[in-house]
Structure 1
């Protein structure tokens, strides 16, 4: 089996060398064997693992969550249901974030419509006044 240097692994998996070192320190990828020269020897399995990590990140999983899922792969008693539980948790997180984003959008839209005359000086801007009032209200002043 052909081994890869850290640079070759980085190119193949499309990540930075520093990312590989970081993932190794975090235990997301196992410490590879080293040549007599001390250089790491990575395998195609490491490429696949890095691609798994990148994809999982792209769909919203944190590195801690990814570490849990990687552990499920090797845990003897783990089931597909264990993985599904993590997906369900992530879906709930996303739903909460969507609700928050929609509230933010509604508030910003309302603030934007409060500005009837965009040519007015900024010191008279109702948007800034509203933000000021809200900040004062939050701080209990």
Structure 2
């Protein structure tokens, strides 16, 4: 129920009238709208991006929808590339753990410190789009 209220505050879902002393009733269109929002989120759209596709008409706005989908696809592919890079870096760092001959030194932790020191300003990044590697 909190998600419904959140969507209403964001303007993604209208608030149905509340009968005197009663409970708000949501119709099938409201349920379909919530399902659409959830589907869009699973496809990678942020809530602030969902309003655009919600307002499009499936009969007349296909070109505009295609453009929104294509933009999202570019973002998803960039994110996948970043995740593959992170995966490779983690595999290498983890392998140094098992290869480390010194019980006082962990290759993973030492490698992370080394990568962090190579960052501009010497600080580690917390964003996946700006990995520490």
TM-score (norm 2): 0.78
Q: In structure 1, what is the equivalent of residue 77 of structure 2?
A: 95
Q: In structure 2, what is the equivalent of residue 53 of structure 1?
A: 37
Contact in 2 for aligned 1:29/1:49 (Cα 8 Å)? yes
User: How many residues are matched?
Assistant: 121
- Structure 2 CA distance for partners of 1:29 and 1:117, relative to 1, 3 Å: same
Question: What's the CA shift for 1:116?
Answer: 4.7
Q: Distance in 2 between matches of 1:63 and 1:117?
A: 45
Structure with more of its chain in helix, by fraction: 1
Question: What's the CA shift for 1:119?
Answer: 7.4
The match for 1:80 among 54, 62, 76 is: 62
Q: Distance in 2 between matches of 1:61 and 1:97?
A: 13
1:63-89 CA-partner distances (Å, limit 9, x unpaired): 112111112239xxx621001111001
TM-score (norm 1): 0.74
Between structure 1 and structure 2, the one with the greater Rg is: 1
Which fold has the larger relative contact order, with Cα–Cα distance below 8 Å and residues 6 or more apart in sequence? 1
Give runs of aligned pairs for residues 102-141 of structure 1, distance below 5 A.
102-117=84-99, 120-121=102-103, 123-138=104-119, 139-140=121-122
Root-mean-square deviation (CA, aligned residues, Å) is 2.3
Listed as ranges, the gaps of 5+ residues in structure 1 are 1-16
Give the match's secondary structure for 1:89.
helix
Listed as ranges, the gaps of 5+ residues in structure 2 are 124-133
Q: Distance in 2 between matches of 1:133 and 1:22?
A: 43
